[in-house]
Chain A
């Protein structure tokens, strides 16, 4: 190869004639552990503050230092927040992946790279700016090498700000938010931003083809990850005990909850807490603690991921049969086994829905947005106590760990529903009416029995909770009729729950003969795909499931369609398996699967292409 100066003049795409405004994707490729996360957050937030809809996807390895990591910021003037595979602006900082990263760039794209990587000339259909980041950072006085390495990340933000016209004041504001308590860090980072911007100003000629322009589409919105949202939901739901074991991608939920509880569940004078958090020795213990706390009358939860769910299986069956409330958030990651711990999937459905041995079926709620992560986690506590059963919140890594734009969460208007609990006083009244209390009696013909809490002094109150066979009085039994009587009542309880859990959401062209059926984090991609399919002449009706057992509305939805594309992020079409077992057999053939399970979040294009192929289009 010739000198870099020659390459630069020879192998660069011409300056574009038009500019893409507020509708492109930036990807930053760095080495894990070099501190790029805060600068990526600042980049995303600065664009958000300019009123432009953004979403961020952090694609990180199961590693603390050294492996490659990517962060993608999508700008969408139309408000789409799903992952977009196509990359327009690429910041290549990682020598190990730079060539591949560059290969992914769309023709006409912009590549900002660390100068020693000498990427120019690798492709001639993109534009380049090589930046000698390390050298540039030497101009920051009083900084050691470690600090300078960190500041490089802010320097690429400065380069992008200059090239894409992100307002410097908004970067400074975003930095202020990032380093709340450290004003010195803000000014230091701003020096790096300015050096980056200055370098870009002096070394890049003409327009780069992409521009951020102020809009008014994010006013009043928040940016939050689903795990933080669920933590907020837990406190709105009145959670009092958290027991957990660290596991990606659910740890940040528990940590956020502990932080929030540390602020909002402390009595100001005494400093004593109304919230207990236990880091347990394993997931067997965390679910055991949750059940102990819930049995004693507190609202309790745990959060975990697939491997933890496997360990909780035994207690989940106990809670189902002994009828103890529990809230279990499963932030799903890619399996099987250890799988891809830092990648997303919706592949725990079958395991969770049927969790534990024997005839068990579990109640699940499935949030599709960060707002629902909050709302459904809060509601899960009501469902758990109302149905005296474990309630699983099926989130996933994409929803849980990525940053999403959302409307602020509304305050719940309904009071907490503590379910059927008989107090001492109520037992006295019942005794007066000649009605003795029995733990597993179906007194209201809805399958839901009444419970009493430990500490209740009434002589009728006490019973021994057990996972062994019991009759409607709570007594041990091996009698077939008594055993079945109780088991059938629990089945009735689940039918009551089916109708009471969050109903599916129907949208789109309600008359369309083509249906889209999805759930969870797939929602964002489906919304975007629906618009594109509409534009391509394929109108669709869209039903989003939000709970298991599936609501009766699912059947009505499928019955009205010629075909229903069931979109899921797993290999085995797990939701289809569940629905096929619950729908009338003649409807099952109408379900066609669109499956996405590589570990990256699903994008709209995947859905559009699959539906168009299925509909005979191109």
Chain B
């Protein structure tokens, strides 16, 4: 074995390479490429068959990345800001697919803010990753709606508009899985992704992902240096797949907390410096507000509530994917047409 302790194949017998995609065309050092690798790792480690996955994205640097992972999964690189609607339709058509959407802060917080909010309201099953760098990269460096107040543009302009915090917004919109990660914190991101992939509804990961070309300067809160210096990791996130895992013997009672996901899987949160309860909505909002005021970046699972039904269940859909229904189930039967016609006579 080249890397001892790391199996070459996952539980369905696939190598890591079965989860990779085409070569990236993003700038060397881009945070997005790290997230791409983290996504590959999460799917590989969970052993999800790639063809059962559906990838979605909008427009922008981040939205190119579905081409760089899981090339054996079908994907749809859509239009700017409209990824949520496509993912919603696809979920209604085929509930058996495991959907992941990758977008950016321009896609989510500007042009697609409406669709983002309504996706969360509906609780459509989807892992929604925002590769958040506070800047429009592909159009060369304009401020995005998550850019910091007072941050400086390369050509000298100062951003005077308040940033949108997608996590706070998501909590307001009723999202039951709200997390913030950092592209450079691989271990945390992979665990958050694995947990998100097991959440019955929309799971949001706002991933701070520095833009090395346009927004990695010291005044940016989305730069590598700033996040490394100001990150407060709320807890150590662990994804636990089995239904009844043994508690980690190294941890004292009260040091961990488990939150139930889908089908027996759990998120295990190991307490770090301070107490943080991700099931308290107001507490989460307050923590985010206070962190922002103090210039800190909170990462980890910010808010969790698995009590809402996912959208396909709200729609009371049959288990069989609608896309797989035979013609006989789709076309109105002859007797039904006769009945309707008789009623109109």
Q: Which A residues are closer than 8 A to B by beta carbons?
A: 220-224, 228, 232, 235-241, 243, 260, 264, 267, 270-278, 280-282, 284-300, 314-315, 318, 322, 408-409, 411-412, 415-416, 418, 452-459, 461-468, 476
Q: Evaluate contact between B325 and A240: CB separation under 8 angstroms.
A: yes
Once A224-B344, A270-B318, A285-B118 are accepted as A-B contacts, the answer to whether A278 and B51 lie under 8 Å apart by CB is no
A464 touches B322 (CB 8 A): no
Within the assembled complex, what's the spacing in Å between the Cα atoms of A267 and B329? 10
**Residue on B nearest A406 in the bound complex, by CB:** B344
Contact A288:B93 (CB < 8 A) given known A223-B344, A462-B74? no
Q: Which residue of B lies closest to A410 (CB)?
A: B337
Closest chain A CB from B47 CB (angstroms): 15
Q: Which residue of A lies closest to B82 (CB)?
A: A288
- Interchain CB contact under 8 A, B92 and A276: yes
Q: Which residues of B contact A298 (CB under 8 A)?
A: 89, 92-94, 322-323
B225 CB to closest chain A CB, in angstroms? 33
Chain B residues positioned under 8 Å from A223 (CB to CB): 344
* A369 vs chain B, min Cβ distance (A): 14
B90 an interface residue at 8 Å Cβ cutoff?
A: yes
Instruction: Identify which of A232, A457, A458 contacts B340 (C-beta below 8 A).
Output: A232
Q: Are B90 and A281 in contact (CB under 8 A)?
A: no
Interface size on B, residues (CB 8 A): 62
Q: Are A273 and B327 in contact (CB under 8 A)?
A: no
Name the residue on A nearest B115 (C-beta). Answer: A285
Which chain B residue shows the least CB distance to A456?
B51
User: In chain B between 84 and 122, which residues have their CB closer than 8 angstroms to a CB of chain A?
Assistant: 84-94, 96-97, 114-115, 117-118, 122
What is B's interface to A at a CB cutoff of 8 Å?
49-52, 54-56, 66-67, 71-79, 82, 84-94, 96-97, 114-115, 117-118, 122, 312, 315-325, 327, 329-334, 336-337, 340-341, 344-345
Closest to B323 in A: A297
- Name, among B67, B321, B336, B345, the residue most crowded by chain A CB atoms within 10 Å (CB to CB): B345
The listed residue (A232, A276, A289) touching B322 by CB distance below 8 A is A276
Residues of B contacting A315 in the complex (Cβ-Cβ under 8 angstroms): 79, 82
CB distance from A215 to the nearest CB of B (A): 16
User: Judging by beta carbons under 8 Å apart, are B323 and A453 in contact?
Assistant: yes
Chain A residue contacts of B330, Cβ below 8 A: 238-240, 274, 299, 416
Sampled A-B contacts (9; CB under 8 Å): A274-B318, A282-B114, A289-B92, A292-B56, A318-B79, A408-B344, A408-B345, A411-B337, A465-B76
Q: Given the complex of chains A and B, what is the CA–CA distance between A241 and B128 in angstroms?
A: 23
Cβ contact within 8 Å between A272 and B316: yes
Contacts of A454 in B (CB 8 A): 51, 54, 73-74, 90, 94, 97
Pick the contact of B76: A221, A275, A295 (CB < 8 A). Answer: A295
Docked CA distance A238–B327 (Å):
7
Chain A neighbourhood of B91, CB < 8 A: 292
A457 touches B90 (CB 8 A): no
B85 in contact with A280 (CB, 8 Å): yes
Chain A residues contacting B82 (CB-CB under 8 Å) are 284-285, 288, 314-315
Complex-state Cα separation, A442 to B88, whole angstroms? 31
Residue of A nearest to B324 (CB): A297
**Nearest A residue (CB) for B56:** A292
Interchain CB contact (< 8 A) of B331 among A289, A291, A416, A456: A416
Greatest chain B CB density within 10 A among A222, A278, A457 is at: A278
Q: How far, in angstroms, from A294 to B69 measured CA to CA in the complex?
A: 23
Residue of B nearest to A288 (CB): B85
Q: Are A300 and B89 in contact (CB under 8 A)?
A: yes
* Known A282-B114, A315-B82, A457-B49: A232·B337 in contact at CB below 8 Å: yes
B94→A288 contact, CB < 8 A:
no
Q: How far is the CB of A401 from chain B (nearest CB, A)?
A: 16
Please tell me if the beta carbons of B92 and A293 are within 8 angstroms of each other in the complex: yes
* From B97, B122, B322, B327, contact of A274 by CB (8 A): B322
> When A220-B345, A292-B85, A298-B323 are in contact, do A465 and B74 touch as well, CB less than 8 Å?
yes
Instruction: Give complex CA distance A276, B85 in Å.
Output: 14
Contact present for A288 and B97 (CB under 8 Å): no
A455 touches B96 (CB 8 A): yes
Tell me the nearest residue of chain A to B77, going by C-beta. Answer: A466
State in angstroms the CA–CA spacing of A280 and B87 once bound together. 13
Q: A323 CB to closest chain B CB, in angstroms?
A: 12
| Chain A: CB-nearest residue to B25 | A476
Among residues of A, the one whose C-beta sits closest to the C-beta of B337 is A411
New A-B pairs, 9, CB < 8 Å, besides A273-B315, A416-B331: A281-B115, A288-B84, A293-B89, A297-B324, A299-B330, A314-B82, A412-B331, A462-B71, A464-B55
> Considering residues A299, A415, A453, A455, which has the most beta carbons from chain B within 10 angstroms of its beta carbon?
A455
Docked CA distance A282–B55 (Å): 23
Residues of B within 8 A of A409 (CB): 337, 341
- Could you tell me the distance in whole angstroms from the C-beta of B342 to the nearest C-beta in chain A? 8
Minimum C-beta distance from B299 to chain A (A): 30
In the complex, residue of chain A having the shortest beta-carbon distance to the beta carbon of B121 = A281
Partner of B86, one of A220, A291, A457: A291
Tell me how far the C-beta of B344 lies from the nearest C-beta in chain A, rounded to whole angstroms. Answer: 4
Q: Is the Cβ of B88 less than 8 Å from the Cβ of A289?
A: yes
Report the nearest A residue to B327, measured CB to CB.
Answer: A416
